[in-house]
């Protein structure tokens, strides 16, 4: 009897070992020459739903801890993950926003209707100075998206003057009158948003000419050179990139690209944020991986016109877009955030990092209470989402040097469809510490990755992991710590190789020290 038990145990273990999935990776320390811009970790907050109002910005006299009406728990959480920049005020809202309505005495500010998002009243209490205060508290760079769709060249020019000019002028006088004597010196400026759609339904030829007008009069004031970002393609509209590069070329610092992962691929019925099966999990990850093709193809077009890679590809809207939470305003785009979101974040950030020679900025849509958020709030409660935890793990890559990585990965297969189960990226920071980020998308299988590190000296390995048994697990207001980073002990040095056993549905960041 005892024999039989031992035999079956041995059989089970050998089947287990036989079925163990493996992947091979090679990190190339010799070809380390590209810096991963920290701006890849940028954020986006629009006047949309509960992102600003009832998100960052609390009502006058609120009991929720705040500084000048800016919610301090959110600020503290975001400071911990070092968000490098914040894009504002839109999105579609930007092309209907007139900045002068949002400065000066609040009681004098006109109200408007937010036609894009729910038809709600916008009281303009959060405007330019409040946004700059928020960026100051977050210690991040502002990225202002200017109105091209319904605004004027003069309006944008004056906004730049208001924010960036230190000398004597009507706009700097106005800024001083509003309590800010020194120029803010904002460098990131978006010239319109989605000009092919909500930003004016323009053709790319028309837009390129408009860009030149707006960009000309948006001046570089002393000590404040602008990084002008042109409104770019929707997803795989390669013609937009082609024409924009041909007509604008290096007159722009960056050209944007927007791509959202829609779980079902159907904008009419996108799928729930938490209530989905493996089939929908698979299609979501497949759609998320499409970012690799988009970035590769848009970059190849940009290479034709800008071989020196002076113009950045700026993916200033990305993330998963699901149906809204039941019972919430459809115009507010409020969605929960599950383990699937963490895998989307890890995978997308790996893609951006591996293309760091061209992708120099990206902005997750949107930081608080909208789409794929870092933070969700309910009255005075705040939840850090699985996406937040991935940004926390990955912050070690900010401004580090990319180490090119190649991977042979087993596939995650469902209903005869295949996607690579493992994706990764690696970098070396300024003190010589190497970090490797691995994502295992497989829903059920753990995968052992053996990594050869060429021209990398290291002795010890430590790790952190974000994982959960189910892809649709999430952090609720009742159970806010269900998914959070923990110590990862599944990696070791075996001879000269790094071997890591990645659990299914996991995002792991390893730290290799000399
Ligand atoms: O992020 C939500 C919306 O998506 C933005 O306002 C717009 O630019 C995009 O279509």
Q: How far is the CA of 77 from the centre of ligand 1 (A)?
A: 24
Alpha carbon nearest to ligand 1 atom 7, residue: 91
d(CA 382, CA 378): 6
Beta pairing, strands 21-28 & 42-44: unpaired
Note the pLDDT of residue 457.
93
Q: Residue 31 — very low, low, confident or very high, per pLDDT cuts 50/70/90?
A: confident
Confidence at residue 20, expressed as pLDDT on a 0 to 100 scale: 73
Mean local confidence (pLDDT), 21-44: 96
In angstroms, rounded to a whole number, what is the distance separating the alpha carbons of residues 260 and 370? 13
76 counts as catalytic: no
The predicted-structure confidence for 356-405, as pLDDT tens digits, reads as follows: 999 999 999 999 999 999 999 999 999 999 999 999 999 999 999 999 99
Nearest Cα residue to atom 2 of ligand 1: 91
CB 382 within 8 A of CB 74: yes
pLDDT at 7 over 70: no
Mutate to test the pocket of ligand 1, among 48, 49, 92, 321 (most ligand atoms within 8 A of CB): 92
Q: How many whole angstroms from 264 Cα to the centroid of ligand 1?
A: 18
For residue 90, which atom of ligand 1 is closest to its CA?
6
Do residues 403 and 32 make contact, with C-beta atoms less than 8 angstroms apart? yes
pLDDT at 13 over 90: no
List residues near ligand 1 (CB under 6 A): 46, 90-92, 193-194, 317, 365-366, 371
Concatenate the DSSP letters of all residues of 355-422 into one string: TTTTEEEEEEE-TBTSSS-SEEEETTEEEE-HHHHHHHHHGGGTTPEEE-EEEE-PEEEETTEEEESE
pLDDT at site 91: 97
Residue 42's closest CA among 88, 89, 90, 84? 84
Question: Can you tell me the distance from the alpha carbon of 4 to that of 372, in angstroms, rounded to the nearest whole number?
Answer: 52
Q: What is the DSSP letter of 464?
A: E
Question: What is the SS3 string spanning 114-178?
Answer: ECCCCCEEECCCCCHHHHHHHHHHHCCEEEEEECCCCCCHHHHHHHHHHHHCCCCCHHHHHHHHC
The pick from 117, 198, 369 for probing ligand 1's pocket by mutation, whose C-beta has the most ligand atoms within 8 angstroms, reads: 198
Centre of ligand 1 to C-alpha 314, Å, is 15
Please report the domains of the chain, with CATH numbers, ordered by start residue: 20-32+403-513 (2.60.40.1180), 38-399 (3.20.20.80)
Q: Average per-residue pLDDT in the chain?
A: 96
Q: What is the mean pLDDT of residues 259-269?
A: 97
Q: What is the pLDDT of residues 407-426, one digit of tens each?
A: 999 999 999 999 999 999 99
pLDDT at residue 280 greater than cutoff 60? yes
Q: Among this protein's residues, is 194 annotated catalytic?
A: yes
371: left (phi over 0), alpha (psi -120 to 50) or beta: left
Span 121-136, pLDDT tens digits: 999 999 999 999 999 9
pLDDT exceeds 50 at position 201: yes
Which protein residue has the closest C-alpha to ligand 1 atom 5?
Answer: 91
Q: Which of 410, 417, 473 is nearest to 442 (CA)?
A: 410
pTM of the model: 0.95
For residue 310, the tally of other CB atoms under 10 A from its CB is: 13
Mutate to test the pocket of ligand 1, among 231, 258, 330 (most ligand atoms within 8 A of CB): 258
- Cβ-based neighbours of 61, under 8 Å, separated by 6 or more: none
Residue 23 has pLDDT above 60, yes or no: yes
- Residue of the CA atom closest to atom 8 of ligand 1: 91
Q: Which of 122, 161, 194, 501 is catalytic?
A: 194
What are the DSSP calls for 327-359, one per residue? TS-GGG-----BHHHHHHHHHHHHHHHHTTTTE
Q: How confident is the model at residue 19 (pLDDT cuts 50, 70, 90)?
A: low
pLDDT of amino acid 3: 56
Q: What percent of the chain has pLDDT over 90?
A: 96
């Amino acid at each position: 009897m005892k024999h039989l038990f031992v035999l079956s145990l041995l059989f089970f273990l050998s089947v287990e070992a036989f079925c163990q999935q493996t992947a091979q990776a090679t990190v190339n320390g010799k070809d380390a020459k590209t810096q991963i811009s920290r701006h890849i970790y940028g954020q986006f907050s629009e006047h949309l739903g509960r992102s600003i109002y009832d998100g960052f910005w609390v009502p006058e006299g609120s009991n929720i801890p705040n500084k000048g009406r800016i919610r301090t728990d959110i600020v503290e959480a975001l400071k911990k993950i070092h968000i490098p920049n914040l894009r504002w005020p839109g999105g579609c809202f930007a092309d209907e926003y007139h900045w002068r309505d949002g400065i000066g005495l609040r009681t004098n500010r006109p109200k408007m209707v937010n036609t894009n998002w729910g038809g709600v009243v916008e009281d303009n209490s959060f405007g330019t100075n409040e946004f700059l205060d928020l960026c100051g508290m977050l210690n991040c760079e502002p990225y202002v998206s200017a109105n091209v769709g319904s605004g004027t060249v003069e309006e944008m020019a004056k906004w730049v003057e208001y924010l960036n000019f230190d000398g004597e002028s009507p706009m700097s006088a106005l800024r001083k009158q509003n309590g800010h004597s020194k120029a803010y010196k904002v460098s990131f400026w978006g010239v319109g948003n989605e000009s092919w759609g909500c930003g004016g339904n323009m053709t790319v030829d028309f837009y390129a000419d408009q860009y030149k007008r707006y960009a000309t009069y948006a001046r570089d004031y002393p000590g404040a050179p602008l990084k002008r970002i042109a409104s770019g393609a929707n997803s795989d509209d390669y013609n937009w990139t082609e024409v924009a590069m041909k007509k604008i070329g290096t007159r722009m610092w960056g050209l944007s690209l927007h791509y959202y992962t829609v779980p079902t691929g159907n904008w009419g019925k996108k799928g729930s944020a938490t209530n989905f099966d493996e089939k929908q999990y698979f299609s979501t990850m497949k759609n998320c991986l499409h970012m690799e093709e988009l970035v590769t193809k848009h970059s190849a077009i940009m290479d034709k016109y800008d071989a020196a890679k002076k113009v950045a590809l700026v993916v200033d809207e990305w993330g998963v877009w699901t149906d809204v939470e039941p019972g919430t305003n459809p115009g507010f785009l409020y969605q929960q955030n599950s383990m699937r979101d963490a895998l989307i974040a890890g995978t997308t950030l790996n893609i951006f990092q591996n293309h760091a020679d061209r992708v120099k900025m990206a902005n997750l849509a949107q930081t608080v209470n909208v789409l794929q958020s870092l933070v969700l709030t309910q009255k005075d409660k705040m939840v850090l989402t699985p996406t937040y935890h991935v940004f926390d793990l990955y912050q070690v890559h900010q401004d580090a040097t990319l180490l090119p990585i190649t991977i042979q990965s087993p596939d995650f297969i469902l209903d005869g469809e295949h996607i690579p189960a493992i994706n990764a990226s690696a970098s070396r920071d300024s003190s010589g510490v190497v970090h490797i980020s691995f994502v295992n998308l497989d829903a059920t299988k753990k995968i052992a990755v053996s990594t050869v590190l060429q021209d990398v000296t290291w002795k010890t390995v430590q790790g952190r992991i974000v994982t959960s048994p189910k892809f649709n697990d999430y952090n609720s207001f009742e159970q806010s710590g269900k998914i959070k980073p923990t110590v990862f002990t599944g990696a070791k040095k075996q001879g000269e190789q790094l071997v890591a056993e990645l659990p299914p549905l996991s995002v792991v960041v390893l730290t290799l020290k000399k």
